[in-house]
Amino acid sequence: PQKTSFHRSQTLDFKNGYAFSRLPREGVGGETLFPNQLSQDELDDLCTKGATLTYGQVKRSAPSRFLPAFVEYDKKVLKFDAYFQEEVATSAEEHYRIRQVGIYYYLEDDSICVIEPVVKNSGLLQGKLMKRHRVPKNEQGDYYHWKDLNVGINLTMYGRTYRLVNCDSFTKVFLESQGIEVNPPEEMISDPYTEHRRPVQKPLKPASPDPFRQFLAYDTKVLRFYAIWDDTNCPFGDHHPCIIHYFLADDTVEVREVRKRNDGKDPFPVLMRRQRLPKVFVDKKKNFPSCVLEITDHEVQEWYSPKDFGIGKSITLLGRTFLIYDMDKFTQDFYREKYGITDFQPVDVNKKPTEKVAQVIPPHNGFGVPEDSLQNCLSLIPKPPRKDIIKMLENNLKVLRYQMALESPVPEDKNRRFILSYFLSDDTISIYEPPVRNSGILGGKYLKRTRVTKPGSTPENPIYYEPSDFTIGSTIEVFGHRFFITDTDEYVLNYLENNAENFPAATLQSIRDHFRPRLTVVETASSGIPKKDLDDLIVEVQKQLKLLEPFNTKQFHEAFHHFDKEGSGFLDKAKFLNVCDRFQVPTSTILLKKVSWKGCCACG
């Protein structure tokens, strides 16, 4: 009691910028502390230990953490079902009214609210009857607590008494956990006037089908059937897939045609509008104008009903026959429950694939190129055949020319000569006939530039003429006309020799044998004999031949070629004199020596 200083030593300090606590150096008021003084944590630990001999001190759990009520009981509400009786003084039919409510007790702040479920067309102000707040219990200022609530008690709030008849499971568990015994639930009392006004549901068993009852029972319930309408008997007819809807509400039928994209038909999905379809008509007079009047119930003996439809059945609706091949799941369940049908195996109505007819390519009519004409047989809009661009660029302006004669029994055609041009860029051929004056035949272009097929080739696999087919003396058939090659130019020989690996040896050898006499003449002409002397000799021989009138030059040429078996262009002296004697040509000794010395058959 005489102590006047109660100062406490400093235990909070900073070290290296960090705050920390330390043990006091002296006690309160400067009292001396013993060095073995324990810290507060150690003292708390000793308080929880008990004396044991075998296993040491038993560690006790730390005290539970403190939680405020608004955190621990957040969103936890006790709910009671209750009702209260309300007097009715303005009605002769009822004297009181029972109103059912729900009482909610919020544990976090001990507040209460009363809510009445809203009933449609009740004429009462329902909903929240008492807002959430702490409700006073008595005049002393006490408030209602959850300990005051239980099932089977009367609760008076603001002059209105509520009877608690039941609670939810959470409320029951909470009260029992707090040691409160929950009373058994009571039956909720209903309002007698409301029960009196409630209509009594009596089973209706009409003797005949009631359309209104059928509408209420089967409204929005439709049977769906998948059918095929075979219209192939009519011109341009086809198989039309359709869907038949049977409306159970009023026994009407609707037929819709299934349209596919780009099927070429008009977009009218409804084939038959929704209507009742007659099945059997009543016998009537033949002169009765039924075609202009509507069908009534007196004219129909039987209408179509669900029993007339089924998988595999053919039904006639307004003159059209439909084959039903399938139905949806709801329709299957309806028939299974009402008619006991269990077999719903769909009918296969798919068309069998027709055998693909092999496309027969017609023979070429001779107009245009076969490849170009073939495109008209392969597609509706023909495309031009593809060309080898690389080959066209490599062989541009490369043309092989041949001289041909026509094989014809007509005598006038024997002297006709033709020039065949083979274009290497696209393997086309053109034939030109040089015009001859006073021949009676108009020369010019004989065949336009085109590809020519060999005899015996087919339109599917055409075989065209190639440079290897053109040899001296070979026969070429061009669209029914036969030609044989008699001559060619030196460009053909040079081209074949430069590309000998691409052509047969027989073709190259034929061209070489044809050009051998010409090469010999050229070699002879360039063997050192002056050109002027050779020209003078030719002029002198021609003068001698002109003295023989008339002289057949053609037979004279043929005779020289006849004796020249090897085609070298040379004849020995004996054969030359023999030919001259046959045609009565005077052989001057001086001129004969000159011709023999020159070694050239210039007269030929």
Q: Shortest CA distance to 216 belongs to which of 248, 253, 243?
A: 248
* 279 class by beta-carbon count within 10 Å (0-12 exposed, 13-18 middle, 19+ buried): middle
**Greatest Cα pair distance in the chain:** 189
| Spatial distance between the Cα atoms of 473 and 506, rounded to a whole number of angstroms | 12
Same domain, 168 and 88: yes
Specify the DSSP element, H or E, that contains 377: helix 370-378
Using CA atoms, how far apart are residues 171 and 180, in angstroms rounded to an integer?
11
| DSSP string computed for 522-539 | HHHHTSS--HHHHHHHHH
Can you tell me the distance from the alpha carbon of 558 to that of 579, in angstroms, rounded to the nearest whole number?
A: 11
The number of C-alpha atoms within 13 Å of 489 and in the hemisphere containing its C-beta is: 10
Q: Does 25 share its domain with 80?
A: no
Are 130 and 157 in contact, with CB atoms under 8 Å apart?
yes
Backbone φ, ψ for residue 398 (5° rounding): -100, 115
Q: What residues does 281 pair with on adjacent strands?
A: 300
Mean pLDDT of the chain: 83
Q: How far is CA 189 from CA 82, 100, 121, 183, in A?
A: 9, 8, 20, 18
- Among 106-115, 262-271, 292-301, 457-466, whose mean pLDDT is lowest? 292-301
130 near 113, Cβ under 8 Å? Answer: yes
Query: Quick check: is 452 in a domain?
Result: yes
pLDDT confidence bin for 379, thresholds 50/70/90: confident
pLDDT at residue 596 tops 70: no
Specify the amino acid at residue 179: G
3-state DSSP assignment of residue 358: coil
Give residue 20's Cα distance to chain centre.
75
Query: Which residues fall within 8 angstroms of residue 596, CB to CB, at 6 or more apart?
Result: 573
Same domain, 387 and 501: yes
CA R_g for the chain: 63
Quote the Cα angle for 258-262-266, to 5°. Answer: 60
| pLDDT at position 108 over 50 | yes
| CATH code of the domain covering residue 586 | 1.10.238
Q: Among 162, 192, 222, which residue terminates a domain?
A: 192
Around 181, how many Cα atoms within 13 Å sit in the side-chain half-sphere?
Answer: 2
- Cβ atoms of 398 and 495 within 8 Å: the answer is yes
Residue 418 within any structural domain of the chain:
yes
What mean pLDDT is predicted for residues 478-500? 91
Q: Are residues 392 and 513 in the same domain?
A: yes
Q: Do 281 and 239 share a structural domain? A: yes
Residue 400: inside a domain: yes
Taking residues 481-506, what's their average pLDDT? Answer: 91
Q: Sheet containing 481-488: which strands, arranged edge to edge?
A: 444-450, 428-433, 417-423, 399-406, 481-488, 475-478
- 528 domain residue, yes or no: no
Instruction: State mean pLDDT over 550-560.
Output: 70
Retrieve residue 372's tokens.
């170009």
Phi/psi region, residue 355 (left: phi>0; alpha: psi -120 to 50; beta: rest), is beta
CA angle 37, 42, 47 (to 5 degrees): 110
Last residue in a domain, options 522, 538, 557: 522
**DSSP letter string, 148-215:** G--TT-EEEETTEEEEEEEE-HHHHHHHHHTTPPPPPP-PPPPPHHHHHHSPP------SS--HHHHH
Over residues 163-179, the mean pLDDT reads: 94
Q: Is the pLDDT of residue 601 over 50?
A: no
Instruction: Work out the average pLDDT over 165-185.
Output: 94
**573-582 and 553-563 helices, crossing angle to 10°:** 150
Instruction: Indicate which CATH number applies to the domain containing 235.
Output: 2.30.29.170
Which structural domain range is residue 15 located in?
A: 1-36
Position 334 pLDDT exceeds 50 = yes
pLDDT given at position 555: 72
| Residue where a domain stops, chosen among 476, 505, 522 | 522
26 with 88, same domain: the answer is no
The b/e string for 172-182 (b: 16+ C-beta within 10 A; e otherwise) is bebbeeeeeeb
Highest mean pLDDT among 64-73, 398-407, 537-546: 398-407
Give the count of domains, the chain: 5
The string of DSSP codes covering 77-99 is EEEEEEEEEEE--S-SS-SEEEE
What's the one-letter identity of residue 451?
Answer: R
Phi and psi at 24, nearest 5°, equal -65, 145
Tens digits of per-residue pLDDT, 428-465? 999 999 998 888 888 899 999 988 889 888 766 788 89
pLDDT score for 519 = 63
Does the residue 540 lie in any domain? no
Question: What DSSP assignment string belongs to 545-586?
Answer: HHTSSS--HHHHHHHHHHH-TT-SS---HHHHHHHHHHTT--
Whether residue 554 is found in the same domain as residue 464? no
Instruction: Tell me: do 325 and 297 sit in the same domain.
Output: yes
603 confidence band (pLDDT: 50, 70, 90): very low
Task: Give burial (CB, 10 Å; 0-12/13-18/19+) of 196.
Answer: exposed
> Are residues 468 and 596 located together in one domain of the fold?
no
Does 142 reside within a domain?
yes
Phi, psi of 222 (to 5 degrees): -130, 135
pLDDT mean over 466-477:
91
Q: Is the domain of 177 the same as that of 215?
A: no
Euclidean distance between CA atoms 50 and 242, whole angstroms: 92
Is residue 263 assigned to a domain?
yes
User: How far out from the chain centre does Cα 406 lie?
Assistant: 61
184 & 225 share domain = no
Work out the angle between the directed axes of helices 589-598 and 531-546 (0-180°, nearest 10). 140
Is residue 317 a part of any domain in this protein?
yes
pLDDT confidence of 539, banded at 50, 70, 90? confident
Q: Are 217 and 182 in the same domain?
A: no
